[in-house]
Amino acid sequence: MELRLDRLTKQFGSHIAVDRVSFSFTPGVYGLLGANGAGKTTLMRMICDVMRPTSGSVLFGGIPIDQLGDGYRARLGYLPQDFGYYPDFTACDFMMYLASLKGLTAQQAKVRTRELLEVVGLAEAAKRKVKTFSGGMKQRLGIAQAVLNDPSVLVLDEPTAGLDPKERVRFRNLISSLAQDKIVILSTHIVSDVEYIADEILVMRAGGIVTTGTVDEITGDIRGCVWECVVTPREADAMSASLTVGNIHYAQDGSAIVRVVAQQRPHPSARTVEPTLEDVYLYLFQEQSGCLPVSQTKAETGQDAIARRKGAHRG
């Protein structure tokens, strides 16, 4: 089973939202990382056949999805970002309605609805109207509907937005449990959402995929570039203004522990530490944030190295 993006492009007027993206998905969990406006949602909408590409195509099993039509969508599950509900429907109504649209028989729909509401912890609220649900409950209902048809391709666009930390952990575990033998594409700008569950990370910037790989591969590319140092608060402020600073922790003794992503040792007291995905994210998006002007040239060199390692994703 392969889902392939072939030079997929979407242009709105003069703005290119997705720029000639090519990529092949096979079963596994893919974390799509990127800042707001990077093109993640547009890319996912095209994958889900609810937005037509300006050029290029999405192929499932080697056949363009617009040719497969109902047949492709029958194998698709989609949880869009910021999606709506019918306030007067109960959770059960909502699931049964979508089950009809997904082609399940009435009997299958009843069984799946009961099972999935149990899985997402909404069994007790099955007969409650959706308008009485909290944000977290709505998101859980959203994921439940997305997997009603046991999809081969599951697309989740910012599924943890608006959830509290406990719900986000629960949600991640839920996705992991549902992901077996599926292509799961999960977009987020919250790095920790995908750090533990994604088999492969795709980082998008300005409509293109700038790097891909496992968490270890991607973090390995900046090994030696992540530093931690103990400095004075004044030095910490100066570093924030000029370098890509991840975390600053002000200790009780008046010092500041600063985590920095930089090519060169940022402070005599700095020592290298193991990079995380969040460090990679900061590293890749430092240009946008305007950070690290001193080491920008080197940083760009680092990005290019990452891009070279995984090959170009702009066709």
Partner 1 sequence: MGSLIGYELKKMLSRRESQVSIAAVMVFVAVIAIFNITSQYALDPKEMDTEFEGTAAIAQNKANAEALAGPITDEEATETLREFKEFVGPDGEVKEEYRMDRKPFGEKTDEYWGFRAKNSALVALLTSPWMQGYQMPESVAATIDTTGTVDLYGQVRSKIASELDANGALSYNDEERAFWSEKAQGVHTPIEYGYAGGWEGFLDLAQFLIFAMLAVVITCASVFNGEYRAKTDAILLSTKFGKSRLGRAKAAASVIAASAIYWAFTLVFLAILLVFYGADGAGLPIQIYNITCTYGISLSAAVLICCLIGYLATLALLGIVLALSAKINSPMGILAVGVALILVPVFVPTMTNSIANHIIYLFPCDALNPFSLFDMVSYAIGPVVVELPVFLAAFYLLLFAAGITLAIRTFKRHQVA
H or E segment to which residue 21 belongs: strand 15-25
Q: Which residues of 218-246 are buried (b: 16+ CB within 10 A; e: fewer)?
A: bbbbbeebbbbbbbeeebbeebeeebbbb
Applying CB under 8 A, among 97, 190, 206, 273 the residue interacting with partner 1 is 97
80/207 with CB nearer partner 1: 80
CB of 12 to partner 1, least distance (A): 9
Tell me if 110 contacts partner 1 by CB under 8 A.
no
Residue 72: exposed, middle, or buried by beta-carbon count in 10 A (0-12, 13-18, 19+)? buried
Q: For residue 13, which phi and psi values (nearest 5 degrees)?
A: 65, -125
Choose the stretch contacting partner 1; rule: CB under 8 A; options: 16-24, 28-36, 66-74, 303-311. Answer: 66-74
Tell me if 90 contacts partner 1 by CB under 8 A.
no
1/241 with CB nearer partner 1: 1
User: Hey, how many other C-beta atoms are within 10 angstroms of the C-beta on 138?
Assistant: 18
CB of 38 to partner 1, least distance (A): 18
Q: Residue holding tokens 């193991």?
A: 274
Tell me if 106 contacts partner 1 by CB under 8 A.
yes
Between CA 84 and CA 141 the distance in angstroms is: 11
CB of 89 to partner 1, least distance (A): 8
Choose the stretch contacting partner 1; rule: CB under 8 A; options: 56-64, 81-89, 112-120, 168-176. Answer: 81-89
Applying CB under 8 A, among 21, 59, 76, 125 the residue interacting with partner 1 is 76
Q: Which of 171, 92, 102 is nearest to 133 (CA)?
A: 92
Q: Is 265 helix (H, G, I), strand (E, B) or coil?
A: coil
CB of 76 to partner 1, least distance (A): 6
Applying CB under 8 A, among 22, 37, 85, 108 the residue interacting with partner 1 is 85
Q: Do 1 and 27 contact (CB within 8 A), yes or no?
A: yes
Tell me if 113 contacts partner 1 by CB under 8 A.
no
24/100 with CB nearer partner 1: 100
Q: What is the DSSP string of 209-249?
A: EEEEE-HHHHHHHTTTSEEEEEE-HHHHHHHHHHSEEEEEE
Positions in 252-291 near partner 1 (CB under 8 A):
none
Q: Which residues bind partner 1 (CB under 8 A)?
A: 45, 48-52, 69-70, 73-74, 76, 78-80, 82-86, 88-89, 93, 96-98, 100-103, 106, 145, 149
